[in-house]
Amino acid sequence: MSDQWGGGQQGSESPVGSVPDLARTEPTSGWAGGPSAAASARPEKVPIEDMPTAGARVGVFLEELASDHPTPGGGAWAAVSAAAGAALVAMVARLTVKKKGYEGVVDRMRAIADECDDERYALLALADRDAEAYRDVMAAYKLPKATPEEQHTWSTTLQKSLERAADIPLEVARRSVYLMALAEETLTSGNPNAASDALSAATSLHAAALSALANVDINAITFIDKTRQQELADSANSLRHRAQSLLRDVSEAFFIAVHA
């Protein structure tokens, strides 16, 4: 990674801050659980400016994205796109808190805004984890395999790195779909003047989910553990269906809000 990213050394030995390793949590089936169980505990946060992705200006990050380096790539971008969606949901919630006539939902909207702030931070950390995981996969492929012992080490190391490279975007997809439901809630219960922002959040989160799940698929396809491969496929399919359903619901709600 370039030093332009805004501080911090990159590498598998130095995960971002002390955000929990969400990729190593027990996977849940489908979308219903939202973020994984480990994500419910609030991590000790490092300053945003000390996180490679979060600390970069948009233009610098896009230059990195457009370069001929394999990272950051689609998986990292999925997490950044989801973080942007979370930020928009928080904005709609806060605009609702300020609007006269919506006193009945103030507490709920404040809770949504706070939760989306936490989600935004976690997703930006996952963007860096995704890039790290991909570098680990590339390093595993390059391990020597001239002897049976080396072949065994190569195979097991590669399998572990591929699993992590699939688990991280799966967590991004779970969070994205969960946040889509919050976008729908702010659209239907919140400030109608911000309905387009809620829809923008949902579409950004939908794209993030599909992009993240594509990264799940491409890493899982070479799994040696076929049971684990099928578990990931089932979870990915469930998330895709739920994301599509939520996008349809949010789009219909926006149409109703605009033409009310």
What percentage of the chain carries pLDDT values higher than 90?
62
More confident residue, 96 or 26: 96
Q: Give me the pLDDT at residue 19, please.
A: 35
Residue 14 pLDDT > 50, yes or no?
no
Q: In the numeric block, which tokens belong to residue 206?
A: 């939908």
Q: Give me the pLDDT at residue 35, please.
A: 56
**Mean pLDDT throughout 38-60?**
61
Cβ contacts of 256-259, under 8 Å, gap ≥ 24 = 257/187, 257/188, 257/192, 257/195, 258/195
Q: Of 39-43, 217-221, 244-248, which gets the smallest average pLDDT?
A: 39-43
73-86 pLDDT, tens digit each: 889 999 999 999 99
**Mean pLDDT throughout 161-182?**
96
Terminal Cα distance for the chain, rounded = 49
Number of alpha carbons in the 13 Å side-chain half-sphere of residue 64: 22
Q: Give me the pLDDT at residue 1, please.
A: 32
79-132 pLDDT, tens digit each: 999 999 999 999 999 999 989 999 999 999 999 999 999 999 999 999 989 988
**Mean pLDDT throughout 200-218?**
96
This prediction's pTM = 0.79
Q: Of 25-34, 71-80, 133-142, which gets the smallest average pLDDT?
A: 25-34
Residue 23 pLDDT > 50, yes or no?
no
Instruction: Establish whether the linkage from the previous residue to 72 is cis, with ω within 30° of 0.
Output: yes
* pLDDT bucket at 54, cuts 50 / 70 / 90: low
Q: Of 25-39, 57-71, 151-165, which gets the smallest average pLDDT?
A: 25-39
What percentage of the chain carries pLDDT values higher than 70?
78
**Mean pLDDT throughout 59-72?**
84
Q: Give me the pLDDT at residue 22, please.
A: 35
- 3-state secondary structure string across the chain: CCHHHCCCCCCCCCCCCCCCCHHHCCCCCCCCCCCCHHHHCCCCCCCHHHCCCCCCCHHHHHHHHHCCCCCCCHHHHHHHHHHHHHHHHHHHHHHHHCCCCCHHHHHHHHHHHHHHHHHHHHHHHHHHHHHHHHHHHHHHHCCCCCCHHHHHHHHHHHHHHHHHHHHHHHHHHHHHHHHHHHHHHHHHHCCHHHHHHHHHHHHHHHHHHHHHHHHHHHHHCCCCCHHHHHHHHHHHHHHHHHHHHHHHHHHHHHHHHHCC
Q: Give me the pLDDT at residue 72, please.
A: 82
Tell me what the pLDDT averaged over the chain comes to.
82
d(CA 259, CA 250): 14
- Nearest CA among 239, 199, 198, 212 for reference residue 73: 212
More confident residue, 176 or 222: 176
